[in-house]
A and B are shown apart, each in its own frame.
Chain A
Amino acid sequence: MASHIPNLNTLRRGRGRGRGIGRTEETGLSSGKDRIVQGTDNDASVSRLSAVELGYLEDAYAAALTPAGSATRRLPIINRGTYARTTAIDQLVARFLGPSSPENTHKKQIISLGAGSDTRVFRLLSSRQTPDFIYHELDFAVNTTDKIRAIRSAPILQRALGIDSSKVSEKDTGVTVSVAGDALHSPSYHVHPVDLRSLSTCSDPAGALPGVDTGLPTLLISECCLVYLSPTEAEQVVAFFTQRLFGHGHAVSGSRDSLQEVQSNGASLGLILYEPIRPNDAFGRTMVSNLAARGIQLKTLPRYASLEAQRGRFRDQGFGDGQAAADIEFIWKRWVNEDEKERVAGLEMLDEMEEWQLLARHYCIAWGWRERDNALAFAGWKDLEAQQGE
Chain B
Amino acid sequence: MSDLDRAIEQLRACRLIPESQVRELCYKARELLIEEGNVVSVDAPVTICGDIHGQFHDLMELFRVGGDVPDTNYLFMGDFVDRGFYSLESFLLLLCLKVRYPDRITLIRGNHESRQITTVYGFYDECIRKYGSANVWRYCCEVFDYLALGAIVLGASSELEPTSNTGLSSMPIDDSELETEVLNSSGEVTSSTYRARQRSSSDASTDSRNISPPRDISAAPGQAAAPSRTGAPGTGASGDGNGSAVTSRTGAVLCVHGGLSPLIDSVDKIRLIDRKQEVPHEGAMCDLLWSDPDEIEGWGLSPRGAGFLFGGDIVKQFNHLNGLSLVARAHQLVMEGYKEMFDGGIVTVWSAPNYCYRCGNVAAILELGEDTSGGGTVARSNGEYGRSNGIVNNRVVSPGRRYRVFEAAAQDTRGMPAKKPVADYFL
Closest beta carbon of chain B to A141's beta carbon, Å: 20
The chain A residue with its CB closest to the CB of B53 is: A352
Q: Which of A41-87 contact B (CB under 8 A)?
A: 41, 43-44, 47, 74-76, 78, 81-82, 85
Contacts of A43 in B (CB 8 A): 427
Candidates B221, B292, B425; contact of A287 at CB < 8 Å? B425
Closest beta carbon of chain A to B290's beta carbon, Å: 8
Assess whether A351 is in contact with B356, with CB atoms less than 8 Å apart.
Answer: no
With A349-B117, A355-B356 already in contact, the answer to whether A74 and B424 are too (CB < 8 A) is yes
Contacts of B359 in A (CB 8 A): 282-283, 286, 355, 358
Q: Say yes or no for A285: interface residue by CB 8 A criterion.
A: yes
Closest beta carbon of chain A to B330's beta carbon, Å: 12
Candidates B117, B358, B361, B426; contact of A85 at CB < 8 Å? B426
Assess whether B120 is in contact with A355, with CB atoms less than 8 Å apart.
Answer: no
Q: Say yes or no for A345: interface residue by CB 8 A criterion.
A: yes
Q: Say yes or no for A316: interface residue by CB 8 A criterion.
A: no
Assess whether A40 is in contact with B427, with CB atoms less than 8 Å apart.
Answer: yes
Mark contacts of A346-370 with chain B using CB atoms, 8 A cut-off: 1 yes-contact digit, 0 otherwise: 1011111111001100010000000
Assess whether B361 is in contact with A282, with CB atoms less than 8 Å apart.
Answer: yes
With the chains together, A287 CA to B117 CA distance in Å? Answer: 26
Assess whether B360 is in contact with A355, with CB atoms less than 8 Å apart.
Answer: no
Q: Say yes or no for B303: interface residue by CB 8 A criterion.
A: yes
Q: Say yes or no for B56: interface residue by CB 8 A criterion.
A: no
Contacts of B303 in A (CB 8 A): 345, 353
Contacts of A1 in B (CB 8 A): none
Assess whether B422 is in contact with A290, with CB atoms less than 8 Å apart.
Answer: yes
Candidates A286, A349, A363; contact of B304 at CB < 8 Å? A349
Assess whether B117 is in contact with A351, with CB atoms less than 8 Å apart.
Answer: yes
With the chains together, A82 CA to B425 CA distance in Å? Answer: 10
Q: Say yes or no for A281: interface residue by CB 8 A criterion.
A: yes
Of the stretches A6-14, A27-35, A291-299, the one at the interface is A291-299
Q: Which of A277-314 contact B (CB under 8 A)?
A: 281-287, 290-291, 293-294, 296
Q: Say yes or no for B111: interface residue by CB 8 A criterion.
A: yes
With the chains together, A345 CA to B306 CA distance in Å? Answer: 11
Q: Which of B284-317 contact A (CB under 8 A)?
A: 292, 303-306
With the chains together, A115 CA to B296 CA distance in Å? Answer: 45
Candidates A74, A287, A348; contact of B358 at CB < 8 Å? A287
Assess whether A281 is in contact with B360, with CB atoms less than 8 Å apart.
Answer: yes
Contacts of B427 in A (CB 8 A): 40-41, 43-44, 224, 296
Assess whether A282 is in contact with B357, with CB atoms less than 8 Å apart.
Answer: no
Q: How large is the interface on B (under 10, 10 to 19, 20 to 34, 35 or more residues)?
A: 20 to 34
The chain B residue with its CB closest to the CB of A291 is: B425
Assess whether A352 is in contact with B112, with CB atoms less than 8 Å apart.
Answer: no
Contacts of A283 in B (CB 8 A): 358-360
Candidates A76, A82, A291, A355; contact of B355 at CB < 8 Å? A355
Q: Say yes or no for B382: interface residue by CB 8 A criterion.
A: no
With A282-B221, A282-B361, A283-B358 already in contact, the answer to whether A350 and B305 are too (CB < 8 A) is yes
Mark contacts of B122-142 with chain A using CB atoms, 8 A cut-off: 1 yes-contact digit, 0 otherwise: 000000000000000000000
Contacts of B120 in A (CB 8 A): 75-76, 348-349
Main DSSP-derived SS at the A contact region = helix
Contacts of A74 in B (CB 8 A): 424
The chain A residue with its CB closest to the CB of B292 is: A353
With A283-B360, A290-B422 already in contact, the answer to whether A351 and B304 are too (CB < 8 A) is yes
Assess whether B112 is in contact with A290, with CB atoms less than 8 Å apart.
Answer: no
With the chains together, A44 CA to B112 CA distance in Å? Answer: 28
With the chains together, A318 CA to B372 CA distance in Å? Answer: 72
With A282-B335, A282-B361 already in contact, the answer to whether A294 and B304 are too (CB < 8 A) is no
The chain A residue with its CB closest to the CB of B281 is: A349
Assess whether B354 is in contact with A78, with CB atoms less than 8 Å apart.
Answer: no
Closest beta carbon of chain A to B85's beta carbon, Å: 14
Q: Say yes or no for A276: interface residue by CB 8 A criterion.
A: yes
The chain B residue with its CB closest to the CB of A285 is: B360
Candidates B121, B335, B422, B423; contact of A351 at CB < 8 Å? B121
Q: Say yes or no for B232: interface residue by CB 8 A criterion.
A: no
Q: Say yes or no for B222: interface residue by CB 8 A criterion.
A: yes
With the chains together, A182 CA to B355 CA distance in Å? Answer: 42
Candidates A274, A286, A363; contact of B360 at CB < 8 Å? A286
Closest beta carbon of chain A to B424's beta carbon, Å: 5
With A351-B112, A351-B121, A355-B333 already in contact, the answer to whether A346 and B424 are too (CB < 8 A) is no
Assess whether A352 is in contact with B333, with CB atoms less than 8 Å apart.
Answer: yes
Q: Say yes or no for B332: interface residue by CB 8 A criterion.
A: yes
Contacts of A44 in B (CB 8 A): 426-427
- Please list the residues of chain B having a beta carbon within 8 angstroms of any beta carbon in chain A: 111-112, 116-117, 120-121, 221-222, 292, 303-306, 332-335, 354-361, 422-427
Query: Can you sample 29 A-B contacts with CB below 8 Å?
Result: A41-B427, A74-B424, A75-B121, A76-B120, A78-B424, A81-B426, A282-B221, A282-B359, A283-B358, A283-B359, A283-B360, A284-B360, A285-B221, A285-B360, A290-B358, A290-B422, A294-B422, A346-B305, A348-B120, A349-B305, A351-B111, A351-B117, A351-B121, A353-B292, A354-B332, A354-B333, A355-B358, A358-B359, A363-B426
